[in-house]
Amino acid sequence: SDGYALWLGHQLIEDSIVRQDYRAALTFIDGSTGGGEVATTATNELRRGLSELLGVQPLRGPGEAGAHGIYLGLRGRSARLDHYLATADVPDLGSEGYHLVYHDGDVLLLADDEPGLLYGAFDLLRQVQALTDLRSLNRTEQPAYAHRILNHWDNLDGTVERGYAGFSIWNWHQLPEYIDQRYVDYARANASIGINGTVVTNVNANSLIFREDYLDKAKALADIFRPYGIKLYLTARFSSPMELGGLDTADPLDPAVIAWWKEKVEEIYARIPDFGGFLVKANSEGQPGPWEYGRTHAEGANVLADALAPHGGIVVWRAFVYSDEAGRDRFREAYDEFTPLDGRFRNNVLVQIKNGPIDFQPREPVSPLFAAMPRTPLMLELQITKEYLGQGTHLVGLASMYEEVLGTDLRPTEPGGEVHQLISGIAGVSNIGTARNWTGNLFGQADWFAFGRLAWAPQTAAREIFAEWAGLTFGRDPEVIDSITQMLALSYPACVNYMTPLGLHHIMNTGHHYGPGPWIDDLGRADWNPYYYHGATRDSIGFDRTSTGSDALSQYPEGFARRYADPATTPEKFLLWFHRLPWDYELAGGNTLWRELGLRYQLGVEQVGEMADIWSGLEGRIDAERFRHVSQHLAIQQREAEWWRDACLAYFRSVSGRPLPEGVPAPPQTLEEYKALTYPYAPGIRPQW
């Protein structure tokens, strides 16, 4: 298998008796009650999926008297569903929710709007793929958030920023005439996991997307996505009124600028009546923004919001900003910049915050901003592409990280403070490209899948998602499912151990962010240097963010901050994020900091070995093509985990002047050799940072 089918490669049920039971229960699909485009997709997907699973096409229902099948439809539009509703108490399912139940021999799928039918259809297919007993079906599902959006960092020239799976799948050159089948398959894959929006252009935006010919292209994509319940969004470059509109300012309070945005938005809605809105990166890493005119982020966002509001569109405004003032802790900046603006944004603005305060590190404490803007709806931004986690080569099941972030309780002394409770939506930076299997590394599919599932149900356990993905992707063999679940569960802790144990962060090589570079200290701006983030000397290591240091800790609610103020109560995984400590500092388990650091690096390498062993055990139980694909990537990961351990420990040993802890092998190369490695053609590159 080449992986193109993703988690939708429904397998024929092998056991003929079981298959026969399902066939008898699902002889027809009666979807005549839905009506619209999305309901039709739901019926078509059921028909397609079930014929793959059962080996026969279900009839178009309702079947003959006495036959059993699936009835799907909206409440109040079908006699069969209403018959059920007369006795069952089904609450309002809301937008996109559904109720899936077994009743008097039939499977009923009921919703209050059409997307609900679509999500219920995919759920039913997952149940049959997993051989769930239909008689036990009784599921009521509603998404936790209305906004579940993929963010593509795709440029109009076809490159993908931080993309490790080939080029952009959007062929702007040939749109709108040529509609690649991939667009349809992409929409289908997203719908199957509950994703309902996509931003198809990079946050480092190009105003060309707003030119009329490009809007026609964007419209062609929106038309493909619509039947799958997916809205199209675009990134808005703040200076577009100048670059495209020929104005001499982009000042958000200038009447000509206000009029330009209003008109542009009208042009968009004339083509795309359900256009989602804009995603904006402003005054960040060189992008233009309202600061040029002495205006705030709120003033900048509001001009776009006012243009979109009459059409029902939203502005997603990113909080990823950090200035170049010397001596400021980058950790603090988004909070310092945005908290004064709480309550100043229009109702249709959401502020999008990266999970951590710095930048998609293997492990970050969550951003304090999540608990600091009670009057502003917030989006959580996760990275699905693995910029800082081994990119296209390493197998790292990100569901574990997402689970940790979503479950973090920022107000431990009162209810309602978990990150998933503080947000109104989730965005994920896509890992999709032209690679035949979509994500380059086959296991990248698990991260796309996990993102969708968690954006729908943020309290789902990572392990459950791993097992579900494994079953949908590799088939029903329980041993295969268990093994892959185990590998995925091991993979995230492994990566943190071999890259950035004990709270180290941002020690990747610069620019491309691939491989270790903790020694780098020669870039123009302090916070682009890995060294800045740990500051190791002969005596100590770590970043003091307590009151004796940058005091970033004070940005957290008191009950949270208290625990992190003292190294003894700070969770070890975040130790060096908040504290600067002597190498001899004694950890709870009795090891010194130096010894523990060495052992963690070693453990990370061993965990990758364990993952590779588990995978080897699956030879013959998985098709040869995918088996080989994963084995080869694991071999690279193994070698690079060792590289991380060896290069980092060679460096920290030279700084601290200490011998390597017992149990950690000596680096095979000199520190100078590790420093000399270069990557002229590293993928997904951006200059400087």
Q: Which of 150, 170, 168 is nearest to 159 (CA)?
A: 168
Q: Which of 484, 477, 354, 478 is nearest to 427 (CA)?
A: 354
For the bound state, the minimum distance from the C-beta of residue 591 to ligand BDP, rounded and expressed in Å, comes to 33
* The amino acid at 516: P
Binding of ligand BDP at residue 99 (CB under 6 A)?
no
Residues 6+ apart with CB under 8 A from 244: 207, 208, 210, 211
Question: What is the DSSP-derived secondary structure letter of residue 592?
Answer: B
Dist. CA 93–CA 142, nearest whole Å: 7
Dist. CA 50–CA 27, nearest whole Å: 10
Binding of ligand BDP at residue 360 (CB under 6 A)?
yes
Stated length of the chain: 689
Two structure tokens written together for 208: 């060309």
Binding of ligand BDP at residue 217 (CB under 6 A)?
no
Query: β-strand 106-111 against 98-103: which pairing, if any?
Result: antiparallel
CA angle 193, 83, 34 (to 5 degrees): 40
Q: Which CB atom, from 281 or from 579, has the smaller least distance to ligand BDP?
A: 281
For the bound state, the minimum distance from the C-beta of residue 429 to ligand BDP, rounded and expressed in Å, comes to 7
Q: Which CB atom, from 47 or from 513, has the smaller least distance to ligand BDP?
A: 513
Binding of ligand BDP at residue 359 (CB under 6 A)?
yes
Q: Which CB atom, from 203 or from 612, has the smaller least distance to ligand BDP?
A: 203
Q: Which of 19, 68, 77, 686 binds ligand BDP (CB under 6 A)?
A: 686
Two structure tokens written together for 135: 């008689």
For the bound state, the minimum distance from the C-beta of residue 489 to ligand BDP, rounded and expressed in Å, comes to 26
Binding of ligand BDP at residue 204 (CB under 6 A)?
yes
Residue written as tokens 């130096």? 594
Q: Which CB atom, from 225 or from 331, has the smaller least distance to ligand BDP?
A: 331
Dist. CA 592–CA 149, nearest whole Å: 44
Binding mask 290-329 for ligand BDP (x = CB under 6 A): ------------------------------x---------
For the bound state, the minimum distance from the C-beta of residue 281 to ligand BDP, rounded and expressed in Å, comes to 5
Query: β-strand 138-141 against 106-111: which pairing, if any?
Result: unpaired
Q: Which CB atom, from 158 or from 176, has the smaller least distance to ligand BDP?
A: 158
Two structure tokens written together for 667: 């680096």
Q: Which of 151, 168, 215, 118 is nearest to 350 (CA)?
A: 151
For the bound state, the minimum distance from the C-beta of residue 363 to ligand BDP, rounded and expressed in Å, comes to 15
Spell 615-628 as b/e; 16+ CB within 10 A means b. beebeeebeeebbe
The distance in angstroms from the start CA to the end CA of the chain is 38
Q: Which CB atom, from 147 or from 330, has the smaller least distance to ligand BDP?
A: 330
Q: Which of 152, 188, 281, 453 binds ligand BDP (CB under 6 A)?
A: 281
Please, which of residues 130-169 interact with ligand BDP by CB under 6 A? 161-162
Binding of ligand BDP at residue 545 (CB under 6 A)?
no
Q: Which CB atom, from 161 or from 642, has the smaller least distance to ligand BDP?
A: 161
Q: Which CB atom, from 162 or from 386, has the smaller least distance to ligand BDP?
A: 162
Two structure tokens written together for 196: 């309902």
Q: Which residues are identified as catalytic?
A: 285, 359, 387
Number of residues forming the site for ligand BDP (CB under 6 A): 11
CA angle 254, 200, 182 (to 5 degrees): 160
Q: Which CB atom, from 157 or from 482, has the smaller least distance to ligand BDP?
A: 157
Using omega within 30 degrees of 0 as the cis cutoff, is the peptide bond preceding 415 cis?
no
Binding of ligand BDP at residue 658 (CB under 6 A)?
no
* Integer CA distances (angstroms), 243 to 202, 247, 428, in order: 17, 8, 29
Q: Which CB atom, from 174 or from 688, has the smaller least distance to ligand BDP?
A: 688
Q: Which CB atom, from 444 or from 667, has the smaller least distance to ligand BDP?
A: 444
CA atoms within 13 A on the CB side of 172: 18
Dist. CA 263–CA 682, nearest whole Å: 41
For the bound state, the minimum distance from the C-beta of residue 387 to ligand BDP, rounded and expressed in Å, comes to 6
Dist. CA 68–CA 88, nearest whole Å: 20
Using omega within 30 degrees of 0 as the cis cutoff, is the peptide bond preceding 176 cis?
yes
For the bound state, the minimum distance from the C-beta of residue 611 to ligand BDP, rounded and expressed in Å, comes to 26
Q: Which of 387, 527, 544, 596 binds ligand BDP (CB under 6 A)?
A: 387
For the bound state, the minimum distance from the C-beta of residue 527 to ligand BDP, rounded and expressed in Å, comes to 12
For the bound state, the minimum distance from the C-beta of residue 425 to ligand BDP, rounded and expressed in Å, comes to 17
For the bound state, the minimum distance from the C-beta of residue 428 to ligand BDP, rounded and expressed in Å, comes to 12
Two structure tokens written together for 159: 């490159």
Sheet with 106-111, edge to edge strand ranges: 59-60, 28-30, 69-74, 106-111, 98-103, 138-141
Dist. CA 663–CA 682, nearest whole Å: 33
Binding of ligand BDP at residue 203 (CB under 6 A)?
yes
Binding of ligand BDP at residue 333 (CB under 6 A)?
no
Residue written as tokens 């036959």? 67
Whether the Cβ atoms of residue 448 and residue 384 lie closer than 8 Å to each other: yes
SS3 564: helix
SS3 381: strand
> How many CB atoms sit inside 10 A of residue 20's CB?
12
Provide the binding-site residues for ligand BDP, judged by CB under 6 A.
Answer: 161-162, 203-204, 281, 285, 320, 359-360, 387, 686
